[in-house]
Structure 1
Amino acid sequence: MIIKILWTSRDWAAAVAQMPVQGSLPCRTVLVPRGRVAHVLRRKLIRAGRSDALAGTRFVLAPAAAVEVLRAADLFFKPGEDALRTARLSALFRSDLRLIHFSLDLLRSTPGWDEAFAHSISDLEGAALRPEDLEAAGTSEQLRDVAAIWRALDQSARRSWTIQRVYVEAAAALERRPEAWPFQGPVLAFAAGGLTAAEARFLRAIPQGTIGLLAARPARKRYLD
């Protein structure tokens, strides 16, 4: 794996232009965190007189790439669980879920617990963790309850996955079978701020991948003032 440090959007565009070409026809993939980043890069390349670098270069959103990996690996799933998680938790709290630390009466009667658990579990997924990791971390009653709720949530969702779960499963698929990567040619993946551990694991698993790290300077005193 190659890592490039990039300071500006101009550096991003230069990294795209420097991607190698294999064979007579260029075929390269650039993973971007957001669609507008792709628009900026295209504009920068054209203004720099490097519109030739756009030929054969596809810009793909990182979540879309992870979804395509899972499809190439013949894994059945349905994306979009992020939007359903809070409602699913609310229904779980009204079931006969067995907990040790948290009171089901409190979870049912006090607004906000479903959202709080949804955010917490999503953060844990973003850290590339699973319920069994919480269980192995210790005997805390709170952790055991969170793991139990998480397991029940997964059982309710079945093959409906959040984007963080998609990243983790796609990374595991590539680690088992790198040939499951569906795009031909070199890959440049931009890792901007807010990257989760789950997404980072996915980017690291991409074969022939170069990761572009968007660097940041410490805030100067006058900015803080």
Structure 2
Amino acid sequence: MVAPIEMAAVLAAGIAAGAINAVVGSGSLITFPTLLAFGHPPIVANVSNNIGMVAGGVTSVLGYREELAGQRGRLLRLGVASVLGSLAGGLLLLWLPARAFQVIVPVLIALACVLVVVQPRLNAYLSARQDRPHPHGGPWLWLGVLLAGMYGGYFGAAQGVVLIGLLGIFLDEGLQRVNAAKNLLSLLVNGSAAVLFALIAPVDWWSVLLVSIGTMIGGYLGARLGRRLPARVLRALIVVVGVVAIVKLVYG
């Protein structure tokens, strides 16, 4: 049985993480360290956190369902990449040491932040040249989403920042619709990895329950807030969270 103080702390962390995930991503940077602080081994904390994030992903997607309208075709294509990447990343988590990703992941997040910042100017440049993006993002976006899915299946923190950077560059869409697509793809990544982990990885199901309840509440609240944020505010928030994620991953 979980101690009351741990229950309260993990539940609160879940609520905060769910809200952040709905708006930007990187909520695992709150819940994962919280589970570690209460003595869970890193692999157990990581897989339990991942499974717990699925419930919050569902409420985030429901909160952004209006912005998902008209994106079914592209999300079916990109969703395949997310699922395949997630399963590959989950297997890497169970088979390989984390040192390589500790070097690669901060670089990916930094690149994603840059993409988020330059997205409006790059889109304006492409529009001026009448070089419109492929409606589904083309093969490069599919590959990028596949790699983001691998990262998400392996660890997942800040995968939303990476996805928003990719989707914002390759799709001719507003930031809120991009964020809605990010929420659905993140859910597919977490859901696919969760099924894998539930079958073959060590899981602390009390932690899963607490994180699930917290992220459901936070995901609903975050979606309501995120849909009202102006694009500039949302973009700035994405960059701030991305920088925090880099500092957290590098200096731990």
More strand by share: 1
Asked if TM exceeds 0.5, the reply is no
TM-score w.r.t. the length of structure 1 is 0.29
More helix by share: 2
The one of the two structures with greater contact order (alpha-carbon pairs below 8 A, sep at least 6) is 2
